[in-house]
Amino acid sequence: MTRLLIIGPPGSGKGTQAEHIARHFSIPAVSTGEIFRSNVNEATQLGKEAAKYLDDGDFVPDHLTNAMVKDRLLDADAQGGFLLDGYPRTASQVSELDNMLASQGQRIDAVIELLAPDAELEQRMLQRAKEQGRKDDTVDVFRRRLDLYHRETHEVVSVYAGRGMVVSVEGSGDPDEITERAIAAVEKFLTA
């Protein structure tokens, strides 16, 4: 049973890497971003609430995010492990996740931190916007998300680093090579 988190700034390749790493460990990748986009596209009540925040580049409030993640982690496919992508994003969400998992006698095994220079991240986001037509990938929204990451989400990395659980991986270069580095680093960490 492997329970992982993947953390990194916007444009660091979290989604791509999460899918490959999760496949390697035979666990589902649980992306809050995909859950949010699905709800927005389907115009669910949660989607309508989340859209207000997402369109401005803000984080969806903790109470909405926590409830969605809790429900998702109770699904049968996540009982044997998971890789969380996009959650937790704040120190209070770390506490909430700790409580969710503790109630099931579980805990996070490792946290993968993807690292890449801000300028490279911005170029990736602009390219993704062109390729996928995503309205939330504008320069202004990207810079706001990057600022939020540095102010809030990086605190999450600090919490897990204090617990000795962070595996830092260079996120620049060929995506396949990044995947290989990440898997090797996690496997080494889990068997240490």
Residue 136, pLDDT score: 65
Please tell me the pTM assigned to this model.
0.85
Reported as a single tens digit per residue, the pLDDT across 34-47 is 777 777 888 878 77
Q: Fold for domain 2-191?
A: Rossmann fold (3.40.50)
Higher pLDDT: 160 or 71? It is: 160
Residue 10, pLDDT score: 84
The percentage of residues in the chain with a pLDDT greater than 90, rounded to a whole number, is: 47
Residue 148, pLDDT score: 84
Report d(CA 44, CA 68) in Å as an integer: 13
For residue 161 the two structure tokens come to 């680093």
Report d(CA 59, CA 145) in Å as an integer: 8
Q: SS in 3 state form for 107-143? A: CCCEEEEEECCHHHHHHHHHHHHHHHCCCCCCHHHHH
For residue 79 the two structure tokens come to 């009982």
Q: Are 61 and 96 in contact (CB under 8 A)?
A: no
Asked if residue 127 has pLDDT above 80, the reply is yes
DSSP string, 151-192: IIIHHHHHHHHHTT-EEEEE--S-HHHHHHHHHHHHHHHHH-
| Strands of the 29-31 sheet, one edge to the other | 29-31, 81-85, 2-7, 110-115, 166-170
Q: Where are the domains of the chain?
A: 2-191
Helix (H, G, I), strand (E, B) or coil at 56: coil
> Which run of H or of E encompasses 4?
strand 2-7
Specify the amino acid at residue 112.
I
